[in-house]
């Protein structure tokens, strides 16, 4: 699987424009498990981001996703949306503590069920499935997850991931890379690759997640 990181791609002016849109349009805000979102943001920010993103990836077909603001680390999940050629574009925008060493983890493992999934372990489960992603238990017990090891996650990675409702079993069998959550950078990876937020070292963070259909992987520069 391909994971690409592009550093210092967005100027401070662009970041401020995106934050201003998110903060000013509270009428578009919705809530998912305590996370504030604006869904389907591309139609609102295309004029800002398309000239920048198209230097690195094809942006002809946007598949959705959201602005988000949250104060807790979200669970391991995928966002494929029933499209085998979907790629996530993660755009960090803001950290409440600029010195925080916030991480975003992309695991080596991927899911062969492209309908979307969130792995909640046995800690807590809402009664209803999410609008797009289906609730599941543990990746290492899931037959649709490919590449799990037969070992616990490394101690180093677990220190990045652990939180009061996230125990070690939720990450059993997983390996991956923890990327710095740095405003101005952009991270691109396949939407069916498992990923999640590292432990929160700040009060809250704001970001933008976009998904695009990319048929020719050689066009990811």
| Residues of the chain predicted below pLDDT 70 | 1, 123-133, 221
Domains of the chain: 4-214 (2.60.120.620)
pLDDT tens for residues 171-185?
Answer: 999 999 999 999 999
Whole-number pLDDT of residue 41: 96
Q: Return the pLDDT at 166.
A: 86
Per-residue pLDDT tens for 129-139? 555 557 788 99
Label the pairing between strands 117-119 and 134-136: parallel
Helix (H), strand (E) at residue 30: strand 30-32
Question: Helix, strand, or coil here: 189?
Answer: strand
CA nearest to 90, candidates 205, 12, 219, 201:
205
pLDDT tens column, 26-53: 999 999 878 999 999 999 999 999 999 9
Specify the pTM: 0.92
């Amino acid at each position: 699987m391909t994971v690409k990181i592009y550093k210092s791609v967005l100027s401070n002016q662009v970041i401020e424009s995106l934050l201003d849109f998110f903060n000013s349009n509270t009428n578009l805000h919705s809530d998912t498990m305590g996370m504030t979102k604006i869904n389907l943001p591309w139609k609102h920010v295309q004029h800002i981001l398309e000239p920048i993103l198209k230097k690195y990836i094809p942006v002809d077909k946007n598949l959705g996703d959201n602005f988000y603001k949250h104060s807790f680390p979200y669970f391991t999940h995928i966002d494929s949306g029933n499209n085998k050629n979907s790629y996530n574009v993660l755009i960090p925008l803001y950290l409440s503590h600029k010195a925080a060493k916030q991480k975003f983890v992309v695991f080596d493992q991927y899911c062969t069920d492209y309908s979307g999934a969130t792995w909640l372990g046995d800690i807590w489960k809402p009664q209803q499935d999410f609008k797009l992603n289906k609730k599941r238990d543990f990746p290492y017990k899931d037959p649709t997850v490919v590449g799990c090891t037969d070992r616990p996650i490394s101690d180093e990675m677990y220190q990045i991931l652990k939180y009061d409702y996230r125990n070690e079993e939720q990450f059993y069998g997983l390996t991956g890379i923890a990327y710095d959550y740095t405003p101005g950078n952009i991270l691109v990876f396949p939407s069916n690759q498992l990923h999640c937020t590292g432990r929160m070292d700040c009060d809250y963070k704001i970001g933008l997640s976009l998904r695009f259909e990319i048929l020719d992987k050689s066009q990811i520069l």
